[in-house]
A and B are shown apart, each in its own frame.
Chain A
């Protein structure tokens, strides 16, 4: 084996001749799993846009920190009126956009008004729904009046969809993004990579990297060799299923963190037989979460019993409500009059957690007589058939948006779940700013969802970050889908 390697190496020397030694370590190649459709965070839902630009090129009034906390960003400080309806932001001075123009309060008013306008195609328009008026007090002061108090307002302003853009460049950001962040956009080789370089005019603490290239590696199979061969030095969002390939290799650091992704087996609550509580409970009892996590996410996820991340303060552990119990599941099916089982379809979107998890769940439900047909779908079909038309029995998806338990109260949401008691709690929650009261309400909400077995709650999606052992400063967790490079540096 050794000899062969020597011979082959010699034979390949001619190829290696062109390889230069590692340059000064201020450049970095980061692998991202999906290519952004364009580069304007305010005009698209694709997480890939934020993964490249959030906190690097674009900044908002506030920003979300590594652990989901709200931090000041372009707004240096703020005051909130006593009734909770008026926010006055004091802005940083000396901030410049990458095209050289100055940033001031007019840009804030422009960005927010643009995002909530009638013809806006902002994918998260709901974030701005509470805003009544945006008023420029002076060039460094902005006053925002809300229609009603909103406890999540500062958090909302930290989303990628709420970043501040300049009026002159807003329409061209899709191709040539111009922001206020520590990196400016350099080039985009479509289908291949997006390159950012350090901005010399940055107002904040200078960054360590001179150049960051986001390499698009769509295929999970290509990610491992890309990392092992040194082509790509970091995959902040690595497919957990592939972690076993890297673990134990001292050249790399594998960091497992938490996401806000509640991975669930969604059930169509209005479609027979899933409209029967016993059937949904039977399925919940039939699920063996440990096997699912081991098989679909390399054993890395944290089991959940309701729709709440175990990393949050409001979390209530309800995983004990439906332990893996095949006999109990069969009994419940019998009560529902379906002791001989039934057939259903399981539509699976592309991510590996869904495709692998689906195979395991299909095998587990077969044990209680439910025969699932696996239908793999692309995201386009999933959004169309499952999410919009609600033409499905079961599906697996990870709901990665933070604090999104309210989706169960939305009319016409794809779960087809309708429970006035739950809706009331969410309505109360939106009007409550007292922390203790909020926690109680959130706890009740989780309990109701678990009791109703609205969906099969599986696990919190892990964030597997893999990078060169000599790198530091990446986020461990993923409170939002982003690759904040402001603290990333090579240690040698």
Chain B
């Protein structure tokens, strides 16, 4: 699927107006903002302290005191989901950052240089793509030990080729444009042109890909933690909560249901947001409406 973007010709107000009528964007924005707010609130307040284990209160069903019940150490699940949001966001965000920070310059560089450089970068991409991502992430965490930091690195590595490809494809579409030709005629170097003209024009493209990878990162962190290789206690994490829940499905199903729903809602929100942004800024979809 190739996304084609042009620089939006309309002004900011037009875009904003469009955003408010785009259902996908609105729903995604509200959900994502809500998750972000919950994560921020958890720094200052949670219904219960998640660092204190009260074994006597273990696996209590949902009640007015504990809306989502308690886990196997007597911790409040709602509070853990709130604190866990922080962790999921942090892991996925940094992994996207790694992917963008390395992948975008690589892709832009490959597009600017072309020829052998382009070929080398793309072959390197192929090499990373050739490894089954999850299996390799498991191998990486097995070598460096399980933990949030290593999970970030493992997920981040597999984000690099994704962003490199998107950046390259986007940049290749920009290079033949007139304003670039004008800049070249004015004697600007390739690096400068990339920074001043190419990157600003592929930002939306990267933003859309960023939301998708962000959502995938949350799923990947959950998957790694679910097999016990991601975030480690005492730091709460949604995937880790599911890991703890899997052996208690019969006696305490709430331990699995609520963290799972937190993941579903967050990923859904991010995907809707990404779709919405693509819709609003994609001239092609404008044409269809």
Q: Which residues of A contact B (CB under 8 A)?
A: 219-221, 224-225, 228, 239, 241-242, 244-246, 291, 294-295, 352, 356, 359-360, 362-363, 366, 374-378, 381
Contact indicator B247/A220 (Cβ below 8 Å): yes
| Shortest distance between the CB of A365 and any CB in chain B (Å) | 12
CB under 8 Å from chain A, chain B span 28-65: 51-53, 55-56, 58-59
Q: Which residues of chain A are within 8 angstroms of B145 by Cβ–Cβ distance?
A: 375-377, 381
Contact status B72-A245, CB under 8 Å = no
Residue pairs across A and B with Cβ atoms less than 8 A apart, 20 shown, are A219-B246, A221-B246, A221-B249, A224-B250, A228-B250, A242-B247, A242-B248, A244-B251, A245-B250, A291-B55, A294-B55, A295-B53, A359-B233, A360-B53, A360-B55, A363-B51, A363-B52, A374-B232, A374-B234, A381-B145
Of A220, A244, A352, A366, the contact of B59 (CB 8 Å cutoff)? A244
In the bound complex, residues from chain B placing their C-beta under 8 Å from that of A245 are 247-251
Q: Pick the contact of B73 from A219, A221, A359, A381 — CB < 8 Å?
A: A359
Most chain B beta carbons < 10 A, residue from A239, A363, A366, A377: A363
Contacts of B249 in A (CB 8 A): 221, 224-225, 245
Q: Which 10 A-B pairs have the closest CB atoms?
A: A221-B246, A245-B250, A295-B55, A291-B55, A220-B247, A244-B251, A363-B53, A294-B55, A221-B247, A359-B233
B256 CB to nearest A CB, Å: 10
Interface presence of B228 (CB below 8 A): yes
List residues 48-102 of chain B with CB under 8 A from any CB of chain A. 51-53, 55-56, 58-59, 72-73
* Complexed CA–CA distance, A402 and B141 (Å): 35
A393 to chain B, nearest CB (A): 15
In the complex, are the beta carbons of B247 and A362 less than 8 A apart?
no
Residues of A within 8 A of B72 (CB): 241, 295, 356
Q: What CA separation (Å) do A291 and B73 show in the bound complex?
A: 10
Residue of B nearest to A356 (CB): B72
B195 contacts the other chain (CB 8 A): no
Q: Which residues of A lie under 8 Å from residue B16 when comparing CB positions?
A: none
A378 CA to B144 CA, complexed, in Å: 12
Binding site for A on B (CB under 8 A): 51-53, 55-56, 58-59, 72-73, 142, 145-146, 228, 232-234, 246-251
Contacts between chains A and B (CB distance < 8 A), count: 63
Q: Which residue of B lies closest to A243 (CB)?
A: B251
**Interface residue SS majority, chain A:** helix
A residues near B234, Cβ cutoff 8 Å: 359, 362-363, 374
Neighbouring B residues of A356 by C-beta, 8 Å = 72
The residue of chain A having its C-beta at the shortest distance from the C-beta of B244 within the complex is A356
Residues of B within 8 A of A362 (CB): 233-234
Give the shortest distance, in Å, between A50 (CB) and chain B (any CB): 25
A244 touches B248 (CB 8 A): yes
Q: Given A242-B247, A294-B56, list of 7 further CB < 8 A pairs? A: A224-B249, A294-B58, A295-B72, A360-B73, A375-B145, A376-B228, A376-B232
A219 to B249, CA, bound (A): 13
Chain B contact surface mostly = loop
What is the distance, in angstroms, from B60's C-beta to the closest C-beta of chain A? 13
Chain B residues with Cβ below 8 Å from A352 are: 247
Question: Contact at A295–B58, with CB atoms within 8 Å?
Answer: yes
Residues in chain A near residue B59, CB distance under 8 A: 244
Q: Contacts A359-B233, A363-B52, A377-B145 given; indicate if A239 touches B247 (C-beta within 8 A).
A: yes
Q: B228: nearest residue on chain A (CB-CB)? A: A376
The interface residues of chain B lying within 8 Å CB-to-CB of A242 are 247-248
Contacts of A244 in B (CB 8 A): 59, 248, 251
* B142 lies within 8 A of A359 (CB): no
Query: How far is B91's CA from A460's CA once the two chains are assembled, in angstroms?
Result: 39
- Contact residues in A for B250 (Cβ distance below 8 Å): 224, 228, 245-246
B227 nearest CB neighbor, chain A only: A219
Residue picked from B72, B247, B251, most chain A C-beta under 10 Å: B247
Which residues of chain B are near A363, meaning CB under 8 Å? 51-53, 234
Closest residue to A224 on the B side, CB-wise? Answer: B250
Q: How far is the CA of A381 from the CA of B142 in the complex (A)?
A: 10
Query: Which residue on chain A has the smallest CB distance to residue B53?
Result: A363
Give the contacting residue for A359; candidates B53, B146, B246, B248; CB below 8 A. Answer: B53
Contacts of A375 in B (CB 8 A): 145, 232
Q: How far is the CB of A223 from chain B (nearest CB, A)?
A: 8
- How far apart are the CA atoms of A363 and B72 in the complex, in Å? 14
Cα–Cα distance between A352 and B244 once the two chains are bound (Å):
10
* CB proximity of A445 to chain B, nearest CB, Å: 32
Chain B, residue nearest A366 (CB) = B51
Residues of B within 8 A of A377 (CB): 145
Taking the closest CB of chain B, its distance from the CB of A222, in whole angstroms, is: 9
- Assembly CA distance A221 to B228 (angstroms): 12
CB distance from B97 to the nearest CB of A (A): 25
Q: How far is the CB of A51 from chain B (nearest CB, A)?
A: 20
The answer on a CB contact under 8 Å between A374 and B73 is no
Report the separation of the CA atoms of residues A359 and B244 in the bound assembly, to the nearest whole angstrom: 12
In this complex, what residue of B is CB-closest to A245? B250
What residues of chain B lie closer than 8 Å to A294, measured between beta carbons?
A: 55-56, 58
A366 to B145, CA, bound (A): 23
Residues in chain A near residue B51, CB distance under 8 A: 363, 366
A454 CB → nearest B CB, Å? 26
Complex interface: chain A residues within 8 A of B248 (CB): 242, 244-245
Contacts of B247 in A (CB 8 A): 220-221, 224, 239, 241-242, 245, 352
Cα–Cα, bound, A219→B15 (Å): 51
Can you name the residue of chain B whose Cβ is closest to the Cβ of A372? B234
Q: How far is the CA of A189 from the CA of B72 in the complex (A)?
A: 35
Tell me, in angstroms, the Cα distance from A352 to B233 when the chains sit together.
13
Residues in B neighbouring A376, C-beta threshold 8 A = 145-146, 228, 232
A378 to B51, CA, bound (A): 25
Q: Are B53 and A374 in contact (CB under 8 A)?
A: no
Q: How far is the CB of A246 from chain B (nearest CB, A)?
A: 8
Instruction: Write the nearest CB–CB distance from A207 to chain B, whole angstroms.
Output: 33
A226 vs chain B, min Cβ distance (A): 12
What is the bound-complex CA distance between A377 and B144, given in angstroms?
Answer: 10
- Cα–Cα distance between A228 and B51 once the two chains are bound (Å): 34
Q: Which of B51, B56, B250 has the most CB of A within 10 A?
A: B250
Cα-based distance from A244 to B56 in the complex (angstroms): 15
CA distance A242 to B255 in the complex (A): 14
A352 to chain B, nearest CB (A): 8
CB distance from B64 to the nearest CB of A (A): 24
Whether A378 touches B142, Cβ cut-off 8 Å, given contacts A294-B55, A360-B55, is yes
A221 to B52, CA, bound (A): 25
CB distance from A243 to the nearest CB of B (A): 9
Identity of the chain A residue whose Cβ is nearest the Cβ of B229 in the assembled complex: A376
CA distance A366 to B228 in the complex (A): 23
